[in-house]
Structure 1
């Protein structure tokens, strides 16, 4: 097993003058995460370190570079998930915390809950000794400029969400083959106060995740496709938006197969074909 860390700085349109800052930032974050693995750290240690680096970099929509909500304030979401234990932790609409991803890990490690939000997340942070930081320390000149521009009566709704809207994240596999991921975001530009995006939300089934992905593909680019999906608990799905897709799965000595939407045949693998 060769350990690896993969990092992204968020999907969306990156202005040309900020492209080098973005590519340099993700490169530094990936190196930081990989150094953790080289030192014997876990994949969870690595992704938290990588995302912490991104949160500390004002070039990204996370931590100190977060976009502002409609009131000109910073509210952030973050999540961590551990493939080894299937544990997860998340925070949403959290304020005055420099590194929400670290707080999300504390939720996973120190509570019996999955997600804490807003004031509850802040109270938990204080109980864990996480220092509060002034909100001004999380607001960059660029974020404030974008906020003010998007408040203008003639602001273009599409252009308002371009520039720096993406969630940042990292995935890693350590030397023992364990997988972990972490994501963090300031959310959407000029979002409503208290808005929580999909970043800290956990719990889509294999079927629901497949259907959502296919629906998004169709609505965005008019494309048809198919997908087979499994989750760590052994749940699986074969979904497609095209007319046909030949698929098959075997579980508990049973063959499942189909060709058309809604078609599902089962057969014991010990029966004659």
Structure 2
């Protein structure tokens, strides 16, 4: 039987001058809760969704409750997930009005013949599936245009093109049956143009899982799309690279193009990798030996 493992992230937008004690405590609590679920035999896909829901609901990251509005003041959320055992995937883009985009993505995967639904169609589907609505947005969302790495409403597209500030959550899981899964959720870059969709809801760019690896990305999504960042990790591993080599090569490629961000990844043997080229990346993990670790910058906080 395979020994289970997990790694999650809360975004690569961390700054050294900020205190991340709440995020550290939250990520540790999520990993501890998922460790119990994995020990009880839960599947990788279920854990990836459950962990991401907990991160969305915390309001501490730029996803779910912590979402930031676009230039028009609307909250458009994206999410995707992928089941490595079956290569099934589900995604939603520019979803408005629902509490947990990752649950909507799971419903797309499980209950439709499609991979992605967007905008009004995604919202209509989520409503038909009975997913939880957000009532009063002003009372629900914790970011109102003044969050971490934020640009105020009204920031011009020219400014945004040179400063795509961001934040995302994601989770990669290996369960005791040897199955891999990944999920990613975000509100996208701060102050984004209405209708902008980044890498997060695109399998291969913002998330990926197959028989080799599970990967979730966080950063300037335009660069992750242009490099097919998460799927590229798998291709490199299949070609003989180690997980660490593969993830670092992809981040280096993104950096060479002028982008920043990070990756979390987990392979079928339970090895983890979490490189980034930004100032910091909030992340936590559970090793196959049962050890839990948490980092924001380079210093481990196990």
TM-score normalised according to structure 1 size? 0.71
Of the three residues 255, 280, 296, the one matched with 1:217 is 255
Structure 1 gaps of 5+ residues are 222-231, 233-273
- Alignment size in residue pairs: 219
Answer yes or no: is 1:112 the counterpart of 2:135. Answer: no
Name the structure, 1 or 2, with higher relative contact order (CA <8 Å, separation 6+).
2
- Distance of 1:127 and 1:75 partners within structure 2: 19
Q: Is the 8 A contact 1:66 1:139 kept in 2?
A: yes
1:6-155 mapped onto 2 (5 Å cutoff): 6-14=7-15, 16-134=17-135, 135-140=137-142, 142-146=143-147, 149=152, 151=154
- Distance of 1:39 and 1:58 partners within structure 2: 28
- Distance of 2:90 and 2:22 partners within structure 1: 29
How far does the alpha carbon of each residue in 1:57-112 deviate from its partner, in whole angstroms, 9 at most, with x for none?
Answer: 11101100011100122110001100111111000100111111111111111111
Return closer, same or farther for 1:65/1:94 CA change in 2, 3 Å cut-off: same
How far does the alpha carbon of each residue in 1:153-202 deviate from its partner, in whole angstroms, 9 at most, with x for none?
Answer: 9xx7699655xx22110001000110001000010101011111011112
- Distance of 1:85 and 1:107 partners within structure 2: 15
How far does the alpha carbon of each residue in 1:34-72 deviate from its partner, in whole angstroms, 9 at most, with x for none?
Answer: 222122210111111111010001110110001110012
Aligned to 2:146, the other structure's residue is in SS state: helix
Return closer, same or farther for 1:112/1:126 CA change in 2, 3 Å cut-off: same
- In the alignment, which residue of structure 2 is the partner of 1:268? none
- Distance of 2:164 and 2:144 partners within structure 1: 12
- Distance of 1:34 and 1:91 partners within structure 2: 27
How far does the alpha carbon of each residue in 1:9-33 deviate from its partner, in whole angstroms, 9 at most, with x for none?
Answer: 0112336444112212221222222
Structure 2 gaps of 5+ residues are 205-227, 237-248, 260-267, 269-302
* Runs of at least 4 residues off by over 6 Å: 207-212
How far does the alpha carbon of each residue in 1:120-168 deviate from its partner, in whole angstroms, 9 at most, with x for none?
Answer: 111111111113212324421x443346746479xx7699655xx2211
1:165-184 mapped onto 2 (5 Å cutoff): 165-184=166-185
- Distance of 1:209 and 1:190 partners within structure 2: 33
- In the alignment, which residue of structure 2 is the partner of 1:196? 197
- In the alignment, which residue of structure 2 is the partner of 1:235? none
Q: Is the 8 A contact 1:89 1:107 kept in 2?
A: yes
Return closer, same or farther for 1:91/1:190 CA change in 2, 3 Å cut-off: same
Shift of 1:7: 0.8
How far does the alpha carbon of each residue in 1:219-269 deviate from its partner, in whole angstroms, 9 at most, with x for none?
Answer: 349xxxxxxxxxx9xxxxxxxxxxxxxxxxxxxxxxxxxxxxxxxxxxxxx
Aligned to 2:255, the other structure's residue is in SS state: helix
Q: Is the 8 A contact 1:168 1:185 kept in 2?
A: yes
- Distance of 1:206 and 1:9 partners within structure 2: 22
- Distance of 2:250 and 2:41 partners within structure 1: 37
- Distance of 1:52 and 1:208 partners within structure 2: 25
Q: Which has the larger radius of gyration?
A: 1
Q: Is the 8 A contact 1:74 1:138 kept in 2?
A: no
When the two chains are superposed, the root-mean-square deviation of aligned CA atoms in Å is 3.1
Q: Is the 8 A contact 1:160 1:189 kept in 2?
A: no
- In the alignment, which residue of structure 1 is the partner of 2:3? 2
